[in-house]
Structure 1
């Protein structure tokens, strides 16, 4: 109920007024059944803009930090993200990554839409970075199609560090569903997971028009911070 009220009464109308979203390819979202919506990640606003225009409910894997903040603000933030059905994900790697994949597959096996950002974190400079293979593992394990998605304009509207977004028009573009059933028996093969992930990122790049960087966003961000300290 909280999700429905937020989407159709509170945030939905507000986001439409602020961003005036131009939507392309919405017909590629399946009307029923499981699917992954894999998109670029440019802004905190991405969590809300895309789900606001998709008719079906979208469950996102959200970073665990949104659920573990201190004090009253932390508790309110955690309650908000739980209320809209988001799932906390530990991004430390190893066993935590496997747990995140299980959570995503569980959503898909219930026939729902799962939203994920393969880059793993927001782009710090507006470019598109190498995707993590978790999206491929989920798609292959659940046998779900992947709908590539590009949100254009949110980086300018609300870059990292800006608390409130600027009022400006954004574009949300969906591509045709991608079928990876040919890899169905290769869920444990890294080469197959890498190939699927790269194919997804290529489609996102075509939809978004972003420059692609063949390294992980977190590594690029860390390298930039290190350079700044020298």
Structure 2
């Protein structure tokens, strides 16, 4: 469905561009770790890759009623989204099982380490589930940055604005040196911070060392944002902030295409 119907239409309208596509392994398992700016992130990333990638999505996307519900479910399946029950304490376990199964089959598995969309376009603290997935599977982690999806589809907007969407893909990260240490919370945090730093270096986003879900909850309840004191580190793991800018699309280059 994605390639036959959805892909050509999105290519024609949004002209997505990509840098670093060669960093995605041509075969074998790999974890693609991305920032998360909008719902459409999961639609555009598969368009610029030659290989199939799957994501997990909340089960509510697949259980809606009526025509709208059926269309949403069909579209999510078409772009490679796997439904996962994210309720209660089962959320991280279900996501881990789904990811491990996909990776053991030698496929690509996409994950958003922030756990939810950014409330304001900044990059938030990564959850350590991605580190556990990497260490248990042994698969490399390919960091990447979605560019412009938050402008095309800000929070509350259903139909994305027509503009060019970009994807910047970094070199794979190898964490085999930590094999067997997936139960060490300090190792998990260190690996997660390394992945988030790589994403930040690709995206040029400002970093907030707070979970995005925490920030959203504070905003929703009228409390001050958790970073307003200005005492948080400028980059994951307390590293110096990388001297990078938000990527811009090529001036005259053609849009990315897949075979």
Name the TM-score, length of structure 1 as normaliser.
0.91
Bigger helix share: 1
Distance of 2:164 and 2:76 partners within structure 1: 25
* Match runs of 1:190-209 below 5 Å: 190-209=185-204
* Match runs of 1:14-25 below 5 Å: 14-25=9-20
RMSD over aligned CA atoms reads 1.7
Q: Which position in structure 2 is the counterpart of 1:54?
A: 49
1:148 and 2:143 aligned: yes
Instruction: Choose from 85, 98, 114 the match for 1:90.
Output: 85
Distance of 2:203 and 2:78 partners within structure 1: 30
1:126 and 2:108 aligned: no
Distance of 2:131 and 2:213 partners within structure 1: 19
Q: Which position in structure 1 is the counterpart of 2:245?
A: none
The gaps in structure 1 that reach 5 residues or longer are: none
1:159 and 2:154 aligned: yes
Distance of 1:96 and 1:203 partners within structure 2: 25
* Match runs of 1:1-230 below 5 Å: 2=1, 6-7=2-3, 9-227=4-222
The gaps in structure 2 that reach 5 residues or longer are: 225-259
Bigger Rg, structure 1 or 2: 2
SS state of the match for residue 219, structure 1? helix
Distance 1:134 1:93, change over 3 A: farther
Any conservation in 2 of the 1:63–1:89 contact (CA below 8 Å)?
Answer: yes
Any conservation in 2 of the 1:129–1:216 contact (CA below 8 Å)?
Answer: yes
1:93, distance to aligned residue in structure 2 (A):
5.0
Distance of 2:145 and 2:15 partners within structure 1: 16
1:28, distance to aligned residue in structure 2 (A):
0.1
Distance 1:228 1:216, change over 3 A: closer
1:72, distance to aligned residue in structure 2 (A):
4.1
SS state of the match for residue 94, structure 1? helix
Q: Which position in structure 1 is the counterpart of 2:252?
A: none
